[in-house]
Structure 1
């Protein structure tokens, strides 16, 4: 039920014509929100009474004008009653549409989602990555199949989305689509953005996510040990494609670059740093944050190898990076040939840089976070939690520093 409802006729003096007449507008106010409707009538300013909210005078044209304004008032109240009778919410928008005889355009979930995706597509390369667009398209497809499965429809009005719809969609993803918990939650987060758009436009009055609480499960990230990295470095491949993939993977183990960032790495990204040595200074594709990484000896050697390659010397890019799909496929071959019993994927190199190469060797977590281009230290702390060997080494140093001196049979005194 609406708390307030008001009607007011007023003159729009900013649009006075050459004859000194102003257009008369009808203002409708509902719960503090306003909308305006032109009455298609004009009048001289001096013939209008603000207090009486009507024209003043006894001439025939004044009486006709006031009768017309009264009929508009009656029509507004009739439109309000019609909306209530049809169990429709009375808002400034719905009332105006009813008054003007305009059929309210029903906003549907998939229509809004597809319009959003079209906008994202036009911003790929500037504000969004191609991968982000692909995820939104995937979620849209999942929603369409979910509604067909659950309700036997291809779309629904966006204002019908409620808490049950969200939990049913989560259950569908985990069961029918066999998605993991974290994948499901990421899909729902993408879906939530569309709901926020609908809320911002007043197409949904109550946030259906208000009482929906769920968290990502922490996943133990795999990484290569020092010995496994050494196996890769020492292994030579007669097949050129495997040698190239191995080199680029090792390069990322010592720089922390993701696939997207090493693929676009160019000569302009290599600069002389504050220490006089060469650094990689680039912006992360995923987050648009700055990554500043001092070049270690191993990646220096790999860059030199491909800078002198006749097939790659004239390219603006520094390394011959294949598609992500091919890189990951070839890494499976490389893992078998190197007898590394881990699911070798390209992103594993970034985890290896964060753990084995930097944190395990005592590089402060703040420096690691900056090199990885993380927006929050919390993201980097996920790596710190899994380095048991580093914890063991740190505690061994502490044990060596502590001396326990026996004072008597029942008491020990601890000295630092």
Structure 2
């Protein structure tokens, strides 16, 4: 038994040692050695060890044996020039090693040696399509590690597909990274808007993604600089669609001819009261309900997309909807307050509800969130409070720019609701 345990322990140690040897987690070990010359002087060498391999590099510094001092810092006694050369060498060695570690590429002790003594290292530069594949793999690992939503995952996969399409069309399957010039951004935006029918703002997000890809290539030393470094995204201001409080009441009081339509309407109203989008309402649970010392009930939940918490006080309408579905089989099974169909089903049913209620604005799940935030703003609600309810960071311009309608009607009503000394 002891023999078996000893064998297993040795095997585990061997596996762990192999893992370390196959990674860049090794530290660079440096030892200063003195090699004797015929004239009784010594030449100072740096003996470096990395991944169990060793080499020596001459610093070019010669001195008497006793004049070389290692601590507290490198010094050649009585020779300031030789001291500066030795320290400069040590600094360069540290910088070379740090650069290799930052590049996140595999490297050998020979690569370190060559770089220190000035021998150019041949860096295999991938083709555009190969670099895009590596960039996508890097993003997928990052997305998985940070637990982004499925929406983000689908979006990045689509962006990758578009970049592959454009670069193949523009440069062919064997296109080189250095063929990409600053003018490519104009061609890319034009292609997105004409061939792929992208709206300007969606195209701008993709343009930013292309620039991030070039930064990725720079970090791997495949290209010297990002050709799109000076490019600035230009977004167009879009009118935020929303439902007025009167339209929300009309929606609530509408008599619908099927249970399916009624359940979708109620879920939409619950989304409205909680300022949530479909992904967040789909992920909500009864565990998110918290009672404050004041006796007010809150739903506090991290947003699916950003992990920023939303803090929403429960309105009477929200409480009524919760009571309506407290014995619903689906809600009990999923530990939710209201039944939440898929986004596609909700949007399809909401369109029918819009026809029944004669609401002119096209109903969709996205409308619930913008309607609640705009109506809160219109009624004089404090913007910081709105941001807490929306799950936006304090002071973020997103709330003001993307979720609030700034029509004269909204602004006038907000002005009249605000106290005169505010």
Same fold (TM over 0.5): yes
Partner Cα separation in structure 1 for residue 324 and residue 367 of structure 2? 23
In structure 1, what is the equivalent of residue 321 of structure 2?
302
Partner Cα separation in structure 1 for residue 247 and residue 391 of structure 2? 25
Unaligned runs of 5+ in 1: 1-10, 17-21, 28-34, 53-91, 402-416
Measured against aligned partners, the alpha-carbon deviations of 1:368-411 in whole angstroms (never above 9, x if no partner) come to: 1111011243112224551432432356689xx9xxxxxxxxxx
Quick check: 1:117–1:133 contact (8 Å CA) kept in 2?
Answer: no
In structure 2, what is the equivalent of residue 266 of structure 1?
285
In structure 1, what is the equivalent of residue 239 of structure 2?
220
Structure 1 outlier segments of 4+, above 4 Å: 22-27, 38-43, 99-103, 394-398
In structure 2, what is the equivalent of residue 367 of structure 1?
385
Range with greater deviation from structure 2 (367-376 or 292-301): 367-376
Helix, strand or coil: the match of 2:198? Answer: coil
Q: Which has the larger radius of gyration?
A: 1
Alpha-carbon deviation of 1:353?
A: 0.5
Helix, strand or coil: the match of 1:291? Answer: strand
Mark the CA change 1:13 to 1:243 in structure 2 (over 3 Å): closer, same or farther: same
Partner Cα separation in structure 2 for residue 42 and residue 254 of structure 1? 70
Unaligned runs of 5+ in 2: 1-28, 35-42, 64-110
Quick check: 1:163–1:209 contact (8 Å CA) kept in 2?
Answer: yes
In structure 2, what is the equivalent of residue 187 of structure 1?
206
Partner Cα separation in structure 1 for residue 60 and residue 219 of structure 2? 38
Q: Which of 356, 376, 388 in structure 1 is aligned with 2:408?
A: 388
Mark the CA change 1:341 to 1:207 in structure 2 (over 3 Å): closer, same or farther: same
Quick check: 2:127–2:174 contact (8 Å CA) kept in 1?
Answer: yes
Helix, strand or coil: the match of 1:139? Answer: helix
Alpha-carbon deviation of 1:297?
A: 0.7
Partner Cα separation in structure 2 for residue 149 and residue 340 of structure 1? 45
In structure 1, what is the equivalent of residue 365 of structure 2?
346
Alpha-carbon deviation of 1:132?
A: 1.5
Q: Which of 352, 367, 377 in structure 1 is aligned with 2:396?
A: 377
In structure 1, what is the equivalent of residue 76 of structure 2?
none
Measured against aligned partners, the alpha-carbon deviations of 1:175-222 in whole angstroms (never above 9, x if no partner) come to: 111211001001112222222222223222122122212321111010
Mark the CA change 1:148 to 1:117 in structure 2 (over 3 Å): closer, same or farther: closer
Helix, strand or coil: the match of 2:216? Answer: helix
**Are 1:51 and 2:70 an aligned pair?**
no
Matched positions, count: 331
In structure 2, what is the equivalent of residue 132 of structure 1?
152
Helix, strand or coil: the match of 1:50? Answer: strand
Mark the CA change 1:285 to 1:142 in structure 2 (over 3 Å): closer, same or farther: same
**Are 1:333 and 2:352 an aligned pair?**
yes
Alpha-carbon deviation of 1:339?
A: 1.2
Quick check: 1:120–1:128 contact (8 Å CA) kept in 2?
Answer: no
Partner Cα separation in structure 1 for residue 212 and residue 316 of structure 2? 44
TM-score (structure 1 length as normaliser): 0.69
Helix, strand or coil: the match of 1:271? Answer: strand
Range with greater deviation from structure 2 (139-148 or 297-306): 139-148
In structure 2, what is the equivalent of residue 411 of structure 1?
none
Alpha-carbon deviation of 1:144?
A: 1.8
Quick check: 1:291–1:372 contact (8 Å CA) kept in 2?
Answer: yes
Alpha-carbon deviation of 1:14?
A: 6.7
Alpha-carbon deviation of 1:350?
A: 0.2
Alpha-carbon deviation of 1:274?
A: 4.3
Quick check: 1:147–1:155 contact (8 Å CA) kept in 2?
Answer: no
Helix, strand or coil: the match of 1:262? Answer: helix
Alpha-carbon deviation of 1:118?
A: 3.1
Partner Cα separation in structure 1 for residue 334 and residue 133 of structure 2? 38
Q: CA RMSD in A?
A: 3.7
Partner Cα separation in structure 2 for residue 195 and residue 51 of structure 1? 45
